[in-house]
């Protein structure tokens, strides 16, 4: 009877802090994407996202000057009041319709008050 040996799966790879810092720096370069950098170096993009997030959290906890401030609501002061109704365009009393089907073109102009009835008749 033959004996088969099953090779143990390799454990998780461990990356040095220097390597992680290099990968984070490459992500900051103009035109670089986290996914592109990760795939180019044989990493999963989620792992690189985690390294970036962990470094950001470590900077925030240490009170480092480069730490990003937390997102917050920023009020925007209004410099002037916009008058109500002053900037509306004048309302036209007539409606112009242009209907085209193939080479046939029909142009109509009708009063605004009769436009609904005219459209019902046309679309019937």
Query: Is 42 among the domain residues?
Result: yes
Q: What's this model's pTM, rounded to 2 decimal places?
A: 0.45
Query: Is 86 among the domain residues?
Result: no
Query: Is 21 among the domain residues?
Result: yes
Instruction: Report the distance separating Cα 16 and Cα 22, nearest Å.
Output: 10
Query: Any bridge partners for residue 110, and if so which?
Result: 95
Instruction: Report the distance separating Cα 93 and Cα 107, nearest Å.
Output: 17
* Structural domain span for residue 111: 94-123
Mean pLDDT rounded to a whole number for the chain: 82
Rounded to an integer, the average pLDDT of 91-120 is 86
Structural domains counted in the chain: 2
For residue range 17-63, what is the model confidence (pLDDT) as tens digits?
A: 999 999 999 998 999 999 999 999 999 999 999 999 999 888 888 77
Query: Is 32 among the domain residues?
Result: yes
């Amino acid at each position: 009877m033959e004996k088969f040996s099953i090779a143990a799966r390799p454990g998780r790879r461990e990356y040095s802090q220097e390597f992680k810092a290099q990968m984070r720096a490459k992500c900051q370069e103009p035109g670089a994407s986290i996914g592109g950098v990760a795939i180019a170096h044989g990493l999963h993009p989620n792992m690189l996202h985690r390294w970036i997030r962990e470094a950001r959290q470590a900077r925030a906890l240490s009170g480092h000057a480069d730490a990003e401030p937390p997102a917050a609501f920023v009020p925007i002061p209004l410099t002037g009041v916009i008058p109500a109704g002053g900037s509306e365009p004048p309302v036209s009393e007539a409606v112009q319709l242009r209907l085209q089907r193939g080479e046939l073109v029909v142009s109509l102009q009708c009063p605004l008050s009769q436009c609904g009835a005219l459209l019902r008749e046309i679309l019937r």
